[in-house]
Chains A and B, each alone.
Chain A
Amino acid sequence: MRKVVLAASAIVFVTGAAFADVIADRKAVMKENGKHVGVLVTMVKGEADFDAAAVLAALTALNDNVQEIDVAASFPAGSDQGDTTASPKIWEDMAGFQAEMDKFKAVTAAAVAAPAQDIEALKTQVGAIGGTCSSCHETFRLKKG
């Protein structure tokens, strides 16, 4: 029986499903971030009217979500395997990855502390948030086929 369990867990590991839950969870967090940012981007693009209350709500939800990200818990060693676009560079440079995450947290916290009151200010705020997205994705995300 023990052999069977060992064999089964070995198979699970080899097929990259060992971190399926942690990978699914962090993808859900990213999806959620995208949803909140989307509210802001839609206004910047002129597809929705500027709405200060909606801006504050989206920024608050985004920031709450982002502050909860725990790099060590969500990116354990080995979780670059499986259905993920996390780059192996995360584990080669964990300090650099953490620094990008800290920047992201700082930017969303600053935005909530002084939410945009007009569309011009929102453009700047969305630019700053988007800058941290692409800065981290530039190095630490790997698109796979």
Chain B
Amino acid sequence: MRLANKLVLAALVLGGAGAVAGWVLSAPQKLDDETLAALGTGDVGRGERMFNAGGCASCHAAPKAEGSAALQLAGGVKLTTQFGTFIAPNISSHPTDGIGSWAMEDFASALLKGMSPSGQHYYPAFPYASYARMRPADVADLHAFMKTLPAVEGRAPDHSLGFPFNIRRGVGLWKLLYLSDEPVIALKQDAAQELALGRYLVEGPGHCGECHTPRDFAGGTKKDQWLAGAAAAEGDGIVPNITSGEGGIEWSQADLASYFETGFTPEFDSAGGAMAAVQKNLAKLTPEDRSAIAAYLKAVPPHSNGYPARTPQSAE
């Protein structure tokens, strides 16, 4: 049975006996009081670091935008996937077309819970499954920074998704399975501070796992193949295995940090594809942050490639 058929069947089954339970379970979840209290007032200067670590501009600014153009977050970038076409929305400070009228709590609910101010689920193409691991204070800082960015007019078109993915409420069930603020990789109690920082940046704001980890049938990341590389969400390419397993990378911590800074691999190849924009963001972080990310990647368990090997047929 094809995957799409399976999902349709699952949706039908859900439509029967499980309808009531499904409706309750799929309800959007609000932030708890503890998280709200931890937001604080937000700091613009620190927020810029989160903006770069989070790579917001990579999807919400125009492709290849540089300098001030990369701060025009009008959205419109399309992500064409097997589920349909997602279109990044306007997240500029425009009061009606963007998110300029959002309260801090609205912004935090979007990032940490994938929930819109009106209580709708966002699709996880917006990588809140990673952002959910962010510290509330960092989210508040990011919000403060983004409020300083220009207001850009114009709403992006809606997503264009096939059934059953066009049923937003279904995302609520997806969240029950995949939305967690728990770290993916357990660290020892006495792990170096650098490692903990790296884990936070990679698993949280950096959302590296969203592209570098293979996904299961329902589109959740496979934590047991964390960062093992994956078929690209778009097109027929792959996203590399960045563990030290078979097919992965054997770069030193210094090699990794240097790549993030300069864009050159140890073989003096350059960053490309979606990583080109990511690397430009990483270059804006501090050497300490880059080194921490590198330290974490060195500590991640090795896995063989999370995507199938290419055969001569599939090369056609």
Instruction: From known contacts A126-B262, A143-B240, A145-B308, infer whether A138 and B267 are also in contact, taking CB-CB under 8 Å.
Output: no
Set of chain B residues within 8 Å of A145, measured between Cβ atoms: 231, 238, 305, 307-310
Set of chain B residues within 8 Å of A16, measured between Cβ atoms: 312, 315-316
A76 within 8 A of B: no
A contacts with B, residue count (CB < 8 A): 28
Q: Of the listed stretches A36-44, A49-57, A64-72, A108-116, name the one at the interface; the rest are far from the partner chain.
A: A36-44
Interface code A43-87, partner B: CB below 8 Å = 1, 0 otherwise?
A: 011000000000000000000000000000000000001110001
B264, B308, B309, B310: the one within 8 Å of A37 (CB)? B264
Q: Of the listed stretches B145-153, B216-224, B271-279, name the one at the interface; the rest are far from the partner chain.
A: B271-279
Q: Are B64 and A138 in contact (CB under 8 A)?
A: yes
In chain B, positions 244-276 with a C-beta closer than 8 Å to chain A are: 258, 262-264, 267-274, 276
In chain A, positions 1-31 with a C-beta closer than 8 Å to chain B are: 14-16
Set of chain B residues within 8 Å of A126, measured between Cβ atoms: 262
Instruction: Please give the distance in Å from A7's CB to the nearest CB on chain B.
Output: 17
Instruction: Please give the distance in Å from A56's CB to the nearest CB on chain B.
Output: 18
B115 within 8 A of A: no
B235, B240, B263: the one within 8 Å of A130 (CB)? B263
Give the CA-CA distance A125 to B243 in the complex, in Å.
32
Set of chain B residues within 8 Å of A44, measured between Cβ atoms: 262
Given contact pairs A34-B267, A37-B268, A144-B237, a sample of 13 additional A-B residue pairs in the complex whose CB atoms are under 8 Å apart: A87-B237, A134-B279, A136-B272, A137-B270, A138-B271, A138-B277, A141-B272, A142-B237, A143-B232, A143-B238, A143-B240, A144-B310, A145-B238
Set of chain B residues within 8 Å of A133, measured between Cβ atoms: 263, 270
Q: Are A35 and B268 in contact (CB under 8 A)?
A: yes
A124 within 8 A of B: no
Q: Are A142 and B262 in contact (CB under 8 A)?
A: no
A117 within 8 A of B: no
Interface size class of B (residues with CB under 8 A): 20 to 34
Query: Which secondary structure dominates chain A's binding surface?
Result: helix
Q: Are A142 and B268 in contact (CB under 8 A)?
A: no
Q: Are B269 and A34 in contact (CB under 8 A)?
A: yes
Set of chain A residues within 8 Å of B279, measured between Cβ atoms: 134
A45, A83, A137, A144: the one within 8 Å of B272 (CB)? A137
B144 within 8 A of A: no
Set of chain B residues within 8 Å of A130, measured between Cβ atoms: 262-264, 270
Give the CA-CA distance A137 to B270 in the complex, in Å.
8
Set of chain B residues within 8 Å of A35, measured between Cβ atoms: 268
Q: Are A134 and B237 in contact (CB under 8 A)?
A: no
Set of chain B residues within 8 Å of A135, measured between Cβ atoms: 64, 276
Interface code B279-311, partner A: CB below 8 Å = 1, 0 otherwise?
A: 110000000000000000000000001011110
Can you name 26 A-B pairs with beta carbons within 8 Å? A14-B316, A16-B315, A16-B316, A34-B268, A38-B264, A133-B263, A133-B270, A134-B263, A134-B270, A134-B271, A134-B272, A134-B279, A134-B280, A135-B276, A137-B270, A137-B271, A137-B272, A138-B64, A138-B271, A138-B276, A141-B273, A142-B237, A143-B237, A143-B238, A144-B237, A145-B231
Set of chain B residues within 8 Å of A45, measured between Cβ atoms: 258, 262
Set of chain A residues within 8 Å of B307, measured between Cβ atoms: 145
Set of chain B residues within 8 Å of A15, measured between Cβ atoms: 312
Instruction: Please give the distance in Å from B212's CB to the nearest CB on chain A.
Output: 12
Instruction: Please give the distance in Å from B261's CB to the nearest CB on chain A.
Output: 9
Give the CA-CA distance A133 to B238 in the complex, in Å.
19
| Residue of A whose beta carbon sits closest to that of B311 | A145
Q: Are A81 and B237 in contact (CB under 8 A)?
A: no
Set of chain A residues within 8 Å of B232, measured between Cβ atoms: 143
| Residue of B whose beta carbon sits closest to that of A36 | B268
Instruction: From known contacts A138-B64, A145-B309, infer whether A82 and B272 are also in contact, taking CB-CB under 8 Å.
Output: no
